[in-house]
């Protein structure tokens, strides 16, 4: 979690941290907004580079202080493009780039943290697979970042993570919807207590009264469900792009 150092701003959000060392990135360069050149010294002394979304989320700007864990970091730049970062990659929060020494020294990689380590190797020549495949002393086979199979595995893992996250969100929405329906029915019954008392006084039985109000609740639920289906169908029809056929072509038969 990341939050502004100013306690008057009661906002916070998820972040995905990247620990950088001097000399990285090996290929390409970080592009910062405003034409600011990237240098690793921007991260030294508890500096941070953030994405524009974080500025809008926390209502902060360059030069402001943010708190990660219990450590304060100063925003020194806004990242517009990061080499090696795939467009559309799923993550639970906005991107924040820190110095690896600050990340390790401040205890942000302690018990309970979730971190992935990447060993970056810069190889001369056009075919890096041959020297890497024969490298000795490595604990496990090297995964080449430019390998198509590796990209497919990473993409599948990110899609699976996104699916799990959306499933959890859907479950929470269903639970909150159930609580909302229960609250509405409870208020509805409380408003009808006087009518129920009058019906009991004129000879209505408990079964008859219960049947009447259960039928009312059922009709309201049926009406709301039908209205939701109509709205959803209209939204899907509006979002779905129209099918385009070449001029003079005929629709398929059968």
Per-position DSSP letters for 74-142, written without gaps between them: EEEEEEEE-TT--TT---SSEEEEEEHHHHHHTTTTSTT------------SS--HHHHHT--S-SSPP
Tell me, what's the pLDDT at 148?
45
Write down the pTM of the prediction.
0.52
Tell me, what's the pLDDT at 101?
82
- Residue 31: Cβ-neighbour burial (10 angstroms; 0-12, 13-18, 19+): middle
Q: Which residues of 177-200 are buried (b: 16+ CB within 10 A; e: fewer)?
A: eeeeeeeeeeeeeeeeeeebeebe
- The pLDDT tens digits of the residues spanning 66-106 come to 888 778 888 888 888 877 665 555 556 677 888 888 777 76
Tell me, what's the pLDDT at 12?
65
Q: Point out the residues of the chain with pLDDT beneath 50.
A: 136, 141-142, 144-149, 253-254
How far apart, in Å, do the first and last CA atoms of the chain sit?
Answer: 56
Comparing CA positions, the residue from 53, 54, 58, 32 lying closest to residue 43 is 32
Rg (CA), the chain: 29
Assigned token pair, 161: 């993570």
Q: Residue 66 forms beta bridges with which residues? A: 4, 73
* Tally of CB atoms within 10 A around 102: 19
Q: Helix (H, G, I), strand (E, B), or coil: what is residue 36? A: coil
* DSSP classification of residue 30: -
Decide if 156 contacts 164 (C-beta within 8 A): no
Assigned token pair, 209: 């009264």
Task: Tell me how far the alpha carbon of residue 53 is from its chain's centroid.
Answer: 12
Decide if 27 contacts 106 (C-beta within 8 A): no
Tell me, what's the pLDDT at 172?
92
């Amino acid at each position: 979690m990341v939050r502004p150092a100013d306690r008057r701003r009661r906002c916070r959000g998820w972040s995905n941290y990247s620990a950088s060392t001097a000399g990285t990135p090996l290929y390409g360069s970080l592009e910062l907004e405003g034409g600011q050149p990237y240098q690793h010294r921007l991260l030294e002394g508890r500096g941070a580079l953030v994405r524009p979304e974080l500025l809008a989320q926390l209502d902060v700007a360059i030069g402001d202080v943010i708190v990660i864990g219990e450590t304060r970091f100063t925003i020194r730049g806004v990242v517009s493009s990061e080499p090696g970062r795939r467009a559309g990659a799923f993550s639970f929060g906005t991107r924040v780039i820190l110095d690896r020494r600050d990340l390790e020294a401040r205890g942000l990689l302690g018990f309970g943290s979730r971190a992935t380590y990447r060993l970056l190797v810069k190889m001369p020549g056009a075919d890096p697979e041959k020297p890497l495949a024969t490298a000795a002393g490595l604990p496990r086979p090297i995964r080449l970042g430019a390998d198509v199979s590796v990209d497919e595995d990473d993409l599948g893992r990110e899609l699976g993570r996104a699916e799990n996250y959306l499933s959890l969100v859907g479950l929470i929405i269903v639970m909150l919807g159930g609580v909302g329906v229960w609250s509405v029915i409870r208020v509805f019954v409380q408003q009808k207590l006087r009518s129920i008392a009058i019906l009991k006084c004129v000879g209505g039985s408990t079964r008859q009264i219960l049947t009447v109000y259960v039928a009312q609740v059922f009709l309201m639920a049926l009406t709301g469900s039908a209205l939701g289906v109509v709205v959803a169908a209209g939204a899907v029809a509006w979002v779905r792009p129209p099918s385009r056929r070449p001029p003079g072509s005929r629709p398929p038969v059968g």
